Structure 1
């Protein structure tokens, strides 16, 4: 599953990013390649932003 930003620039929900993180680790069998590690770092940043957005919206 590859990330394709929406044309409107809307952020994906944290649950969608989390699912992609889980799939990445599942495919990697516990060891990430350099390319996968970079992807993982980007997903973590995206996930953290989505969680912050969810928290801000709930407040």
Structure 2
């Protein structure tokens, strides 16, 4: 499942990104295709950015 497009500079909440990660990685016994791995990598990066943004906002 591709991530939901966002405006440049906007960050989706970590919980939303996490749901996309879970949907992509639904069955850990199944190997992801190269495209799936690339999508997972992008989602991980987006999740890290979302977590950082939430921490900064909380501070």
TM-score, scaled to structure 2: 0.82
Residue of structure 2 equivalent to 1:12:
12
Residue of structure 2 equivalent to 1:42:
42
Verify: 1:58 aligned to 2:30, yes or no.
no
Deviation of 1:34 (Å)? 0.9
TM-score, scaled to structure 1: 0.82
Which consecutive residues of structure 1, in runs of 5 or more, have no partner in the other structure? none
Taking only aligned residues, the RMSD between alpha carbons, in angstroms, comes to: 1.5
Residue of structure 1 equivalent to 2:33:
33
Deviation of 1:8 (Å)? 6.6
Which consecutive residues of structure 2, in runs of 5 or more, have no partner in the other structure? none
- Describe the shift of the 1:7–1:49 C-alpha distance in structure 2 as closer, same or farther (beyond 3 A): closer
Q: Work out the number of aligned pairs and report it.
A: 57
